């Protein structure tokens, strides 16, 4: 196809593309919402925006708050007695992995960056069994309110991240993070203190995509 013909075809199809975006986009989000609700043992608030169907494994013991913004490519897994609890107005970016054998909680208003891994269990080592069959040791992970976790962060079992903390991109969080603190690095270390987090009450504006 010549460049001129391709340009003419693009111009001719632009109105159809715009119509498709207006119609298909909302329908895709609605279908993703329905698919997620079908997998849950509890309710899913209508205010939750689901841009792509999350991959859910295990017992599906998930408690999801209101006005969440869920990007595509999420992986949510609960095993044994584990559960995941996500507060209101949390944003889970593309590719976030959350695995709970005991407990993972994320407080209201927190932002979780792309491809972050939050897992509360590790395979046991030093046993005769291969790692796949050795079982798990788990400790709860608790992430406070108004926390901002950057892209590619790893949060290890037993960690508590305080309200208003910020975790720099690609950090590995091996120990507790105090409230209103910026941490970064491998392992994550305190860089500086921050202003206390604002109120977690909704400001009145809807998140994008609602």
Do 14 and 175 form a contact (C-beta atoms < 8 A)? Answer: no
Residues with Cβ within 8 Å of residue 75, at least 6 apart in sequence: 54, 55, 57, 95, 96, 97, 98, 99
Cα three-residue angle 66-72-74, rounded to 5 degrees: 75
Residue 18, judged by CB atoms within 10 A of its CB (0-12, 13-18, 19+), counts as: exposed
Place of tokens 């949060």: 155
Q: Which residues pair with 173 in a beta bridge?
A: 155
Do 124 and 136 form a contact (C-beta atoms < 8 A)? Answer: yes
Gap between the Cα atoms of 31 and 61, Å rounded:
21
Does the annotation count 123 as an active-site position? yes
- Residue 141 in 3-state DSSP? strand
Place of tokens 């999420």: 74
Which of the following is catalytic: 3, 97, 123, 136?
A: 123
DSSP-assigned letter for residue 177? B
Catalogue the active-site residues: 123
């Amino acid at each position: 196809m010549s460049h001129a013909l391709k340009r003419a075809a693009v111009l001719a199809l632009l109105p159809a593309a715009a119509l498709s975006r207006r119609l298909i986009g909302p329908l895709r989000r609605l279908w993703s919402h329905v698919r997620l609700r079908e997998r849950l043992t509890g309710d899913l608030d209508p205010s939750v925006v689901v841009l792509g169907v999350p991959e859910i494994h295990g017992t599906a013991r998930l408690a999801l708050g209101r006005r969440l913004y869920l990007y595509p490519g999420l992986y949510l897994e609960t095993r044994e007695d584990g559960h995941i609890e996500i507060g209101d107005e949390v944003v889970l970016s593309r590719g976030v992995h959350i695995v709970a054998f005991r407990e993972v909680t994320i407080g209201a208003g927190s932002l979780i960056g792309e491809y972050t891994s939050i897992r509360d269990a590790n395979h046991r080592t030093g046993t005769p069994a291969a790692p796949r069959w050795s079982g798990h040791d788990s400790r709860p992970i608790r992430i406070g309110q108004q926390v901002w976790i950057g892209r590619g962060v790893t949060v290890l079992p037993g960690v508590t991240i305080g309200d208003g903390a910020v975790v720099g991109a690609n950090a590995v969080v091996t120990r507790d993070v105090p409230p209103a603190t910026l941490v970064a690095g491998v392992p994550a270390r305190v860089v500086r203190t921050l202003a206390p987090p604002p109120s977690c009450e909704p400001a009145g504006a809807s998140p994008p995509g609602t």
